[in-house]
């Protein structure tokens, strides 16, 4: 690594700082320059140990941003101070409190805005979108934040070569995605074009290099051509005694590439690569007349293309841009674009916001940029929580060119291209949009989704009975209209949810389910919804009705039984119990001649007998699920049964007494012996007739005079089975009778 010459760097830093002061001098006072000096010293100290990726001292960057802010954007001393300090809070140990203490509230507020948006593109998409919203909120309060950020991005793009290729591509794509269209929207055409060209250098390197080379190769030819083209215009303008400048310009590389891609043509077929700009110095009251005068002079010399006339003087763009554009055919057979504007218009076009404010007078009322910033505030206020949708909507409007349409009274309104009749309704007023029934365009009835064109005259038809519908979101293009529709739909959803809340309360009452917050939360979870509001809304529109709620009640009962079984358990088994007595119900019947089975699946759960009615085996009973004492058993005619069943129906479970005389269990025996006539008949007679036992199945295999088989039986208890086995052993020919194990029963049955 080369040794750093700190003294040489110190000299270079001072040289760059003096250049900055030099460009500031015409528009700053002595006091302003003192503040700039303080900010410079502060930034030098804060960044003294920082270097850029190129290896240069970091302070070069804030100085360059300050110079762009003054020279190319036209801002004043406060913005220069903020440019010098814009990375201090983010990259050093200094805080906003330090900035406030040294430079005051205004500078601190702008630095805070710059710090908040500094990492917009270093997060996930959703976080980027949310930060983008915050950035625009700051922009709508003080547009200097975004102007300094534009200057910051422009300098970063100019010095992008020092970054690794992957990072270069990422920064370039971000620039095309947001910063170039923002520069365009704020009226900085030159900055927008440079950002696009610099980004293309990394996103389309081969195309960029090819077009750059072609422009370089044809530079002398173009200069000669433009010079001969300008001469007759210059002479004619001088004869009219007009004060003017003629500037030659070449279409930007990105713009040429865009036209080649869009039209599928070669470089040589792009007919308006050449352009000249005629800037006249004339009083504001004569601006329009003199511009048209120049247009008349130019078109007297060269034949114009009637389809290429753009009158941005009569109807300026939303970002304040004013100019008269025409494309004319030169004597050499090449098309040339001619831009005609005044000195004031040129400064507004080049320096956007700052120049616009400089020329704006109170009497002119609200400017185009005023309206645009106002629309941003409205979008921010009415936007839904989904920041990604908001970002997409806003970017659509950011990129859009405008159309000009008229109200029935002839008032001119500006809308983005692709706007519909419904967009127009919302541009007038949110209530006009909300109650829009239809529209007449040029006196003909059209649907709400009708796409407008420049020059259309639009009349909106309204009805107080009309209200926004969800499909309206498909009919609109502008972020304002989408925001207003979403807001209205949200309010309507709330209103319907209130009705749904009352309906749900009535339905739960019919099902004997208490209307409590606990049960509402359970219902929300059961139907997989996000919040109670969604539950009420679904009830209101009929998605959740009596059938669904009954299904929920049944699920709750089954869930409660499962909970009780897991919590309170079955009757405890003896740890030393033998396999034949391990069945819990059988064990219960051995100790209790009568057993209570509970629930739809008739399970043996722990319970207590309620003292209010003292039920006994044989009574018709039901179970009631208590909060802390498990299941309590009541007689059906218990004095409290009516109250329990009406108020707590969802906690009532079935219950039934069963005696050992009425239940049988599946078991099995294995039989071996000598095959003999009538043996099987004797076997089944004893089982069925003498012992009154139901046989489930019999399986016998014979082999060379012997047999082996299994018999599956329903028996009452172990003693019952043992008696049967002893009887079967006495049959002639039977050698062995054994009980089948529990595992074998599962396999056989």
User: How confident is the model at residue 181, as a pLDDT?
Assistant: 78
User: How confident is the model at residue 716, as a pLDDT?
Assistant: 67
Q: How far is CA 455 from CA 418, 423, 745, in A?
A: 14, 16, 89
CA angle in degrees (0–180, nearest 5) for 485-489-494: 150
Taking alpha carbons only, the member of 97, 69, 98, 90 closest to residue 81 is 69
Helix residue spans in 30-143 (DSSP H): 30-46, 60-68, 77-85, 88-91, 96-103, 105-116, 125-141
- Is beta strand 694-703 parallel, antiparallel or unpaired with respect to 706-715? antiparallel
Residues 24, 36 contacting (CB under 8 angstroms): yes
- Given a cut of 70, the residues of the chain with pLDDT beneath it are 1-2, 116-142, 271-272, 318-319, 351-401, 555-595, 599-605, 646-647, 649-650, 659-665, 705, 716-717, 741-749
For the beta carbon of residue 369, count every other beta carbon within 10 angstroms.
21
> Which H helix or E strand runs over 461?
strand 458-462
Residue 634's SS3 state is strand
CA 668, CA 683: separation in Å to the nearest integer?
14
Residue range 573-601, pLDDT digits in tens: 333 333 333 344 444 444 454 567 776 55
Class of domain 214-359: alpha beta
Catalytic residue among 5, 45, 90, 300: 90
User: How confident is the model at residue 122, as a pLDDT?
Assistant: 46
What are the b/e assignments for 72-94, b being 16+ CB within 10 Å? bbbbebbbbbbbbbbbbbeebeb
- Is beta strand 444-446 parallel, antiparallel or unpaired with respect to 436-441? antiparallel
Catalytic residue among 9, 12, 56, 91: 91
* Interacting residues of 422 by C-beta distance below 8 A, sequence separation 6+: 433, 436, 439, 448, 449, 472, 475, 476, 481
Residue 420: DSSP 8-state: B
CA 361, CA 349: separation in Å to the nearest integer?
18
Question: Which CATH number describes the domain made up of 6-207?
Answer: 1.10.3210.10
User: How confident is the model at residue 594, as a pLDDT?
Assistant: 59
Residue 473 tokens, joined: 């979101």
Q: How long is the chain?
A: 749
CA 538, CA 543: separation in Å to the nearest integer?
5
Q: Where in the chain is the domain with CATH 3.30.460.10?
A: 214-359
**Greatest pairwise CA separation for the chain in angstroms:** 143
* Interacting residues of 682 by C-beta distance below 8 A, sequence separation 6+: 731, 732
Q: Where in the chain is the domain with CATH 3.30.70.260?
A: 665-748
The answer to whether the pTM exceeds 0.85 is no
For residue 314, the Cα-to-chain-centroid distance in whole angstroms is: 40
Taking alpha carbons only, the member of 236, 238, 146 closest to residue 191 is 146
* Residue 290 annotated in active site: no
Q: How far is CA 669 from CA 385, 698, 715, in A?
A: 71, 10, 11
- The CATH homologous superfamily for domain 665-748 is ACT domain (3.30.70.260)
Residues 178, 195 contacting (CB under 8 angstroms): no
Handedness of CA 383, 386, 387, 393 (dihedral sign): negative
Taking alpha carbons only, the member of 603, 608, 610 closest to residue 565 is 603
For the beta carbon of residue 137, count every other beta carbon within 10 angstroms.
17
Q: How far is CA 445 from CA 402, 438, 476, in A?
A: 23, 7, 18
* Residue 91 annotated in active site: yes
Residue range 90-101, pLDDT digits in tens: 888 888 888 999
CA 151, CA 110: separation in Å to the nearest integer?
14
CA 582, CA 507: separation in Å to the nearest integer?
46
User: How confident is the model at residue 353, as a pLDDT?
Assistant: 53
Helix and strand totals (H; E) in the chain: 30, 20
Residue 313 tokens, joined: 């003087």
């Amino acid at each position: 690594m080369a040794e750093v010459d700190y003294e040489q760097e110190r000299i270079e830093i001072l040289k760059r700082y003096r250049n900055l002061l030099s460009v500031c001098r015409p528009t700053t006072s002595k006091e302003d320059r003192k503040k700039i000096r303080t900010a410079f010293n502060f930034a030098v100290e804060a960044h003294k140990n920082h270097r850029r990726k190129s290896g240069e001292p970091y302070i070069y960057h804030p100085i360059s941003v300050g110079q762009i802010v003054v020279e190319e954007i036209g801002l004043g001393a406060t913005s220069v101070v903020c440019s010098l300090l814009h990375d201090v809070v983010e990259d050093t140990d200094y805080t906003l409190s330090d900035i406030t203490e040294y430079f005051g509230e205004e500078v601190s507020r702008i630095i805070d805005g710059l710090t908040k948006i500094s990492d917009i593109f270093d997060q996930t998409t959703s976080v980027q979108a949310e930060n983008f919203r915050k950035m625009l909120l700051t922009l709508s309060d003080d547009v200097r934040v975004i102007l300094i950020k534009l200057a910051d991005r422009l300098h970063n793009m100019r010095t992008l070569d020092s970054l690794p290729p992957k990072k270069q591509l990422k920064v370039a794509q971000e620039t095309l995605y947001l910063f170039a269209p923002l520069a365009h929207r704020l009226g900085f055409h030159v900055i927008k074009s440079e950002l696009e060209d610099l980004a293309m250098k990394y996103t389309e390197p081969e195309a960029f290099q090819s077009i750059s080379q072609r422009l370089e190769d044809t530079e002398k030819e173009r200069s000669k051509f433009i010079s001969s083209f300008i001469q007759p215009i210059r002479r004619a303008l001088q004869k009219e005694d007009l004060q003017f400048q003629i500037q030659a310009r070449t279409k930007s590389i990105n713009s040429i590439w865009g036209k080649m891609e869009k039209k599928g043509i070669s470089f040589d077929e792009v007919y308006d690569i050449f352009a000249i700009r005629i800037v006249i110095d004339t009083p504001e009251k004569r601006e329009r007349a003199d511009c048209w005068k120049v247009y008349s002079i130019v078109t007297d010399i060269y034949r114009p293309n009637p389809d290429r006339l753009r009158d941005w003087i009569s109807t300026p763009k939303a970002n304040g841009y004013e100019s008269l554009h025409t494309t004319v055919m030169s004597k050499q057979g090449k098309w040339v674009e001619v831009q005609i504007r005044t000195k004031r218009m040129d400064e507004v076009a080049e320096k956007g916001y700052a120049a616009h404010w400089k020329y704006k007078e109170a009497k002119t009322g609200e400017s185009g940029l005023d309206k645009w910033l106002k629309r941003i505030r409205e979008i921010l206020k009415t936007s839904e929580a989904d920041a990604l949708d908001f970002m997409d909507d806003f970017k659509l409007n950011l990129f859009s060119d405008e159309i000009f349409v008229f109200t029935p009274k002839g008032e001119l309104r500006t809308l983005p291209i692709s706007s519909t009749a419904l967009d127009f309704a919302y541009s007038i007023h949110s209530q006009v949009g909300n109650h829009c029934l239809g529209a007449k365009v040029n006196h003909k009835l059209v649907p709400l989704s009708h796409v407008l064109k420049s020059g259309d005259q639009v009349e909106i038809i309204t009805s107080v009975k009309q209200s926004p519908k969800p499909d309206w979101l498909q009919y609109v293009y502008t972020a304002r209209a989408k925001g207003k529709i979403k807001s209205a739909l949200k309010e309507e959803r709330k209103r319907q949810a209130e009705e749904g809340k009352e309906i749900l309360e009535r339905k739960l009452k019919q099902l004997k389910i208490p209307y409590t917050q606990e049960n509402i939360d359970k219902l929300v979870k059961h139907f997989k919804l996000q919040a109670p509001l969604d539950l009420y809304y679904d009830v209101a529109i009929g998605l959740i009705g009596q059938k669904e709620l009954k299904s929920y009640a049944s699920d709750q009962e089954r869930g409660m039984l499962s909970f009780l079984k897991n919590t309170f358990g079955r009757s405890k088994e003896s740890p030393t119990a033998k396999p034949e007595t391990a069945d819990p119900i059988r064990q219960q019947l051995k100790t209790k001649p009568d057993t209570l089975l509970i629930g739809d699946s008739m399970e043996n759960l722990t319970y207590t007998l309620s003292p209010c009615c003292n039920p006994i085996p044989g009574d018709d009973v039901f179970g009631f699920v208590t909060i802390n004492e498990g299941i309590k058993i009541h007689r059906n005619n218990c004095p409290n049964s009516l109250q329990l069943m009406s108020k707590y129906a969802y906690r009532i479970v079935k219950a039934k007494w069963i005696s050992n005389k009425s239940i049988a269990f599946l078991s099995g025996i294995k039989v071996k012996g000598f095959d003999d006539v009538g043996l099987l008949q004797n076997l089944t007679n004893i089982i069925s007739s003498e012992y009154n036992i139901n046989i489930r199945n019999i399986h016998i295999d014979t082999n060379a005079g012997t047999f082996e088989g299994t018999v599956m039986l329903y028996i009452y208890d172990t003693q019952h089975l043992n008696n049967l086995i002893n009887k079967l052993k006495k049959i002639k020919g039977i050698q062995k009778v054994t009980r089948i194990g529990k595992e074998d029963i599962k396999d056989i049955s």
